Amino acid sequence: MEYKYELVQADNHFPLKIIVHSSNEPAYIPRHWHDSIEISYVLSGKIDNIYIDGASYSSKEGDIVLINSNAIHSFSVAKGKGREAITVLIPSGFIRENVNGSNPILFDCISIFETNEQKLQHFAELRDLLNTLFVAYLNRHNDPLAHIHLTSLSYKLVYLLLMHFKMDHESIRGFNSDKYLERLTLITDYIKKNYDQSLSLDSIAQVFGLSPEYLSRFFVKHVGMTLFQYINAIRLERSFRVLMNTDHSIIQIALEHGFPNEKSFARVFKRVYQATPHQYRKENKRYSGARSQ
């Protein structure tokens, strides 16, 4: 069975992506996977079914369900009044950038069946933080320092997860991966580590001992986009942060993030943001006034 890969882009100016769900209508999100860590937190009402790698859960108000990187998952909710929930997506790269070592990082963070007193206290702390994050996100347009507040809460969230919910290596060993998902993870990890280099279908196929034709079909089938589209998406994600948080020139950013030239960078950027990098930076960049003083 095929499950589509989802490319998760963090929100502008802070490391996470937050989605607020408040519809009373029934909804179904089919099985998919991504390399971000996903937290589902119910503020009111319930989520009827959360499927994660063969297990099913029903979550109600106050429940926290963390879905690990690359886990196949889906959601379904029936029609109901007063339902509100948030989804917090943490790009795995954000965690890797702040943690030493190359070992996989997985979390045991599902509050539904938890009975351990100490773990319940940790969940209470996590719940308080998610509530604070939710309020800060809703008020972000009214707070000139919202990006600082949200970024600090993002780091605190990752800190709590690593301190209290990180699985040890023995537990991680018990996790079995689908062989195709395993191969795809190796390929996408390779691209993320080498996106700033000159990458081609042929060169990546050679690294993994595959024919270019097979790799091309395999990638489109399991990711839903071509290999080159994925490479450009990763380059765009990384270059966007530099564009908005530094004064580096457009050509410097383009070349340092794997684009062959400024024109190529501008074309990919405009396709997503409906503006050139220069136009977007001029209209949206924070601290522009302070840095020019």
What percent of the chain clears pLDDT 70, i.e. is strictly above it?
Answer: 87
Buried b (16+ CB within 10 A) or exposed e, 259-271: beebeebbebbee
| Residue 105 near residue 40, CB atoms below 8 Å | no
| Domain formed by 4-171, architecture | Sandwich (2.60)
Q: What pLDDT, on a 0 to 100 scale, did the predictor assign at position 216?
A: 92
Q: Which residue has the tokens 């996408």?
A: 188
Q: What pLDDT, on a 0 to 100 scale, did the predictor assign at position 10?
A: 60
| Per-residue pLDDT at 54 exceeds 70 | yes
Mean pLDDT of the chain: 85
- Give me the mean pLDDT over the 97-108 stretch: 77
Bin 287: left if φ > 0, else alpha if -120 < ψ < 50, else beta. Answer: left
Domain 4-171 matches domain 179-288 at the CATH topology level = no
Q: What pLDDT, on a 0 to 100 scale, did the predictor assign at position 53?
A: 79
- The Cβ of residue 67 has, within 10 Å, a number of other Cβ atoms equal to 25
| Per-residue pLDDT at 166 exceeds 50 | yes
Higher pLDDT, 99 or 133: 133
Each domain of the chain, given as residue ranges in start order, spans: 4-171, 179-288
Highest mean pLDDT among 70-79, 98-107, 191-200: 191-200
- Residue 159: pLDDT band (50, 70, 90) is very high
CA angle at 5 for the pair 206 and 198, rounded to the nearest 5°: 35
Rounded CA-CA distance 36/42 in Å is 19
The correct answer on CATH 1.10.8.350 for the domain covering 179-288 is: no
| Per-residue pLDDT at 169 exceeds 80 | no
Q: What pLDDT, on a 0 to 100 scale, did the predictor assign at position 293?
A: 35
- Residue 176: pLDDT band (50, 70, 90) is very low
| Per-residue pLDDT at 291 exceeds 50 | no
| Per-residue pLDDT at 248 exceeds 90 | yes
- Which range has the worst mean pLDDT, 22-31, 33-42, 184-193? 22-31
| Per-residue pLDDT at 137 exceeds 80 | yes
What is each CA distance from 103 to 32, 186, 205, in whole angstroms?
24, 13, 24
Rounded CA-CA distance 237/10 in Å is 8
Q: What pLDDT, on a 0 to 100 scale, did the predictor assign at position 292?
A: 37
